[in-house]
């Protein structure tokens, strides 16, 4: 099976999710900022909401697969399992060799699925029995220092960010913050070694020096990507991706629209303020629309780029590069500035299209949803009182693997 994503709106055939689990119960108030959460979700309710999300997708004919299942199938040999575990420990910045080996011994003896689940959940210092009397080990085991040897991967249910499927390949992203960098490993191993995906080209590596996250990558059509330059994505990453998708893998992409947005947590990714919902319709945070800047990278001959700054407004830039006569921008929160800020914060702009003109949204954003309906967009609403505490919506929580070509 090959990856195939050449638009944001083509009929969604296969999608990957991660159902939140016990990692959320390792959140505590003093670690929220470090782990990128604003509040602590109630796990049981969050799982119910996530299950409803998956159920809606299945009811619409989408095949739902889970990251945990794919990775378990991938790590079927002891060699791959041990290689993955060694790299995970290294990426956790465990520099003490005794602790590193103790972690390896602790996890390698587990059943593969149990190992993966525990790596995601995190490992508290008291869970590892370190018998050797070493000064540095005793200090690091002190709860006054840090309660975890391995921090929990609480953001993993936002599957959009660690990897982005682009065309028939993928970017393996370098996450902006250390707490999320290990997440990219999971799908990297699946795409490298799982028999269903092992021929997929990579357009970016997590080992690159510049950060980029999948919430900033939108596949607008077979020729055009929009990539946010944001709190989480650096412009140098766009140049690397442009070279890969334009010249190295023979795909049809020839234009990247770089969208510069304010570097703020409220607008951490492009898809928190802007998503595509139909061939000619987009939902956008109205308070930010006039504060976007656009830079284009276009394919030329012989590995060269044509670079330009676009001074036209968003709708005109989209009409130009998507070759659409008229683009409609649907305002998140409508014309009410307070509602726009509130509903953007609650992921009103973060829509997941399952086919042209039909999107999954959070039910709490009633004004935005009414605006979408007014413009003929069908909304499939899911509850979000707990899922939204992690600052992400339906698009953030999903990684499309196969879409029909729009």
Catalytic residues: 396
Q: Which residues contact 399 (CB under 8 A, 6 or more apart)?
A: 15, 16, 17, 159, 160, 163, 164, 165, 187, 214
Reading across the β-sheet that carries 224-229, which strands appear in turn? 217-219, 224-229, 255-260, 293-299, 305-310
φ/ψ of 355, rounded to 5, equals -165, 170
Q: Are 241 and 256 in contact (CB under 8 A)?
A: yes
Give the Cα separation of 113 and 76 in Å (integer).
Answer: 10
Give the Cα separation of 330 and 343 in Å (integer).
Answer: 13
φ/ψ of 305, rounded to 5, equals -115, 150
Which residue, among 217, 219, 222, has the nearest Cα to 204 in the 3D structure? Answer: 217
């Amino acid at each position: 099976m090959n990856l195939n994503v050449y638009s944001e709106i083509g009929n969604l055939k296969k999608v990957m999710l991660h159902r939140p689990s016990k990692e959320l119960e390792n959140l505590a108030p003093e670690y929220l900022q470090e782990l990128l959460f604003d509040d602590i979700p109630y796990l049981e309710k969050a799982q119910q909401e996530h299950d409803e999300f998956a159920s809606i997708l299945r009811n619409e004919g989408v095949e739902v697969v889970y990251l945990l299942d794919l990775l378990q199938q991938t790590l079927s040999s002891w060699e791959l399992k041990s290689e993955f575990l060694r790299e995970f420990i290294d990426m956790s910045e465990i520099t003490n060799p005794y602790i590193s080996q103790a972690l390896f011994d602790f996890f390698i003896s587990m059943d593969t699925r149990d190992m993966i689940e525990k790596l995601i959940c995190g490992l508290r210092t008291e869970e590892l029995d370190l018998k050797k009397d070493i000064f540095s080990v005793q200090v690091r085991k002190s709860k006054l220092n840090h309660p975890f040897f391995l921090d929990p991967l609480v953001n993993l249910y936002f599957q959009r960010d660690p990897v982005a499927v682009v065309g028939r390949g993928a970017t393996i992203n370098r996450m902006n913050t250390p707490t999320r960098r290990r997440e990219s490993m999971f799908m990297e191993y699946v795409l490298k070694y799982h028999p269903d995906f092992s021929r997929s080209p990579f357009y970016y590596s997590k080992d690159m020096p510049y950060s980029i996250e999948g919430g900033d990558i939108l596949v607008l059509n077979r020729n055009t990507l929009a990539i946010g330059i944001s709190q989480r994505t650096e412009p140098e990453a766009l140049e690397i991706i442009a070279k890969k998708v334009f010249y190295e893998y023979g795909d049809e992409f020839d234009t990247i629209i770089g969208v510069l947005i304010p570097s703020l947590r409220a607008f951490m990714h492009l898809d928190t303020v802007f998503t595509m919902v139909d061939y000619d319709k987009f939902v956008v945070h109205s308070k930010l629309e006039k504060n976007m800047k656009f830079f284009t990278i276009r394919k030329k001959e012989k590995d060269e780029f044509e670079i330009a700054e676009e001074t036209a407004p968003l709708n005109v830039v989209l009409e130009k590069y998507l070759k659409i006569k008229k683009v409609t921008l649907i305002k998140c929160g409508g014309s009410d500035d307070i509602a726009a800020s509130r509903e953007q914060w609650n992921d009103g702009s973060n829509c997941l299209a399952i086919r042209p003109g039909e999107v999954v949204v959070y039910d709490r954003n009633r004004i935005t949803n009414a605006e979408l309906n007014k413009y003929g967009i069908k909304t499939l609403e899911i509850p979000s009182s707990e899922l939204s505490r992690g600052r992400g919506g339906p698009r953030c929580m999903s990684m499309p693997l196969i879409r029909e070509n729009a």
